Structure 1
Amino acid sequence: MGMQDAATRAPTGLAVHAGTAAAMVAFAANSVLARAALATGAADPVGYTAIRLVAGAAALSLLARRRTAVAAPGPAGDPIAAAALFAYALAFSLGYVRVGAATGALILFAAVQGGMIGWNVLRGARPSRRQTAGLAVAAVALVALLAPGLHAPDPLGAATMALSGAAWAVYTLRAGAGDPLRRTAANFRLAAPMAVAALLLPGVRIDVGAEGVLLAIASGALASGLGYAVWYAVLPALPRNTAAVVQLSVPAIAAVAGVVLLGEPLGLATLLPALAILGGVFLALRDPAAR
């Protein structure tokens, strides 16, 4: 995540806390909205993805244009980042056909963090003992969550959500310099046509009702578009380590929302591994070496 241009002033105090909380709720809402649309058959995964990315591209472009005082053209976007964004969004939709909001958000989060930390290790970074212990706890807990049993999530759904998280890790690692909101808008504009083109692939069955359209637009324009705008506005005021740790709240918010709004069960077989995963990642991210 990059810093904003000089035309934007970072908020302070209460505005930072409120904005951070709003952004985390928005990110968690993506899981709830997708599950609400895809588990009920209100939308098919490919159609939902296309509407979400088109709505996100439109909202982000409008927000970036209104917010910045810079008259120069925005960035052209990164084709590799855009492809990773499309892969993330499509796998996200496919996964939420089979897994609940809480489980999906947790697997996604673990895959993102694992992918990013793994990439840093491959590049020569040496995790400290504290980081290693935290990641080990998270990995064991994730295995426990996915282990075959009465409450185990659907294996294909879990694998698809992990793929979505890996794609998002690639997208995050491709982040460049400059205004992150304008860069994100540009990448959404490149990813949206990919999603629309996927609708034309052989064997793709488009089945999106009015409710599915509304849920996809809400995910793209509000949870993604407005969520990123708020997040990038408060990000310069947050210490790097704090910005990473606060995102631990997203799976927890998604879990609570899944129970309250969707009536999804949340038994100990899911809750205990989930807490261990979040605790392990928290331990790794709080290590001074990770700052």
Structure 2
Amino acid sequence: MPSHSRYAPWLYALLSMLAFAANSLLNREALAMVHIDPLSFAAIRTVSGALMLTLLVMCSTGRQGQKKSVRATGGSWLGAISLTVYMFAFSIAYISLDAGLGALLLFSAVQFCMISWALLHKERFSVLQWVMLLVAMTAFFILLSPQGTDVHLGYSGIMIVAGVAWGSYSILGQGHKDATLASADNFQRAAMLSVLIMVGVLVSQQTLFAHPKGLVLAFVSGAITSALGYALWYRVIQRIKASQAAVMQLSVPPLAMVGGAVLLGERIDGTAMVSAAVLVAAIGVFIIARQKQGQH
């Protein structure tokens, strides 16, 4: 086996994490600079993501070497609804939240959602896991505390809804043999729901707007950093351990925070930075302990 192939999964993983962090940066840039309204951004992101994933499915080959059809399979309307809620809530939250803080709230909500799902299915946690979960939740609430950091609770709540929706989408997607095909199906369904939402918004005479830069940012977020980022990540997780994949995702909020500070001029609050570090570390230890427990 060529030596470079050993490092390929980690390079792909790094590119995937950069793509996920870029989603926060692109969304925040578009809304903070008022290049586009959040509903239009979400709709364009979803539709362009669906088009790109459909193109990937069409270009891939089946077992008999034949091209796959335009209509993907493996998804569900429940998955599509979860994806749509995530897309729209994610964009609305970035009206107020900084890129890094939004990514941290999203990531935390996703992890708490999946941990809650494990508890509902009577998965047993070790003492260390319970301690780390308590530490993570404490840091999370400090992050949202009005006395702790300068956070808009309303938009923070919307981002938490986005995280729960994404966590639900992830749970629904577990066990698919062809994750890209299932994602394409869910995106296609979500694109239809997004169009219906936008028609409803137009009928209700709500104000929508999109400048050229906003359209470009939304398209890049959907077709490149979402669709291609997800497709690349699904290839990665087939070649590395689950614990490694989970821990690698911990890098997304810090990457978004650094990117927000460097590219968007966002200020990193000291309390938020400490809370974020504690939160990410605690969840990281929880994930590793959970994986080790599953090996016994």
**TM bin (shorter chain):** over 0.9
Query: 5+ residue gaps in structure 2?
Result: none
Residues 64, 182 of structure 1: 8 Å contact kept? yes
Q: Does 1:210 align with 2:212?
A: yes
Aligned match of 2:245: 243
Give, as a single letter, the amino acid of the residue that structure 1 aligns with 2:281.
G
Aligned match of 1:47: 40
Q: Does 1:285 align with 2:287?
A: yes
Aligned match of 2:198: 199
Which aligned segments of 4 or more residues in structure 1 are displaced greater than 4 angstroms?
none
Q: Kindly report which structure 2 residues correspond to 1:1-291, keeping only aligned pairs within 5 A, or say none.
A: 12-70=5-63, 71=66, 73=69, 74-75=72-73, 77-149=75-147, 151-175=149-173, 176-201=175-200, 202-287=204-289, 288-289=292-293
Alpha-carbon offset, residue 235 of structure 1: 1.4
SS at match of 1:46: helix
Aligned match of 1:5: none
How many residue pairs end up in the alignment? 281
Residues 75, 183 of structure 1: 8 Å contact kept? yes
Give, as a single letter, the amino acid of the residue that structure 2 aligns with 1:153.
V
Superposition TM-score, scaled by structure 2 size: 0.91
Q: Over the residues paired in the alignment, what is the CA RMSD in angstroms?
A: 1.5
Give, as a single letter, the amino acid of the residue that structure 2 aligns with 1:257.
G
Residues 113, 164 of structure 2: 8 Å contact kept? yes
Residues 88, 168 of structure 1: 8 Å contact kept? yes
Give, as a single letter, the amino acid of the residue that structure 2 aligns with 1:81.
G
SS at match of 2:258: helix
Residues 74, 181 of structure 2: 8 Å contact kept? no
Give CA-to-partner distance per residue, 1:117-157, whole Å, 9 cap, x none: 10110111121112111111111001111111373211111
Residues 241, 290 of structure 1: 8 Å contact kept? no
Give, as a single letter, the amino acid of the residue that structure 2 aligns with 1:193.
M
Give the distance between the partners of 1:196 and 1:205, measured in 2 at CA.
16
Give the distance between the partners of 2:252 and 2:103, measured in 1 at CA.
8
SS at match of 1:127: coil
Give CA-to-partner distance per residue, 1:92-121, whole Å, 9 cap, x none: 001001100011000000000000010110
Give CA-to-partner distance per residue, 1:6-41, whole Å, 9 cap, x none: xxxxx9411111100000000110000000001121
Give the distance between the partners of 2:45 and 2:294, measured in 1 at CA.
33
Residues 37, 209 of structure 2: 8 Å contact kept? yes
Give the distance between the partners of 1:204 and 1:160, measured in 2 at CA.
20
% identity of equivalent residues: 36
Query: 5+ residue gaps in structure 1?
Result: 1-10
Comparing 143-152 with 256-265, greater Cα deviation is found at: 143-152
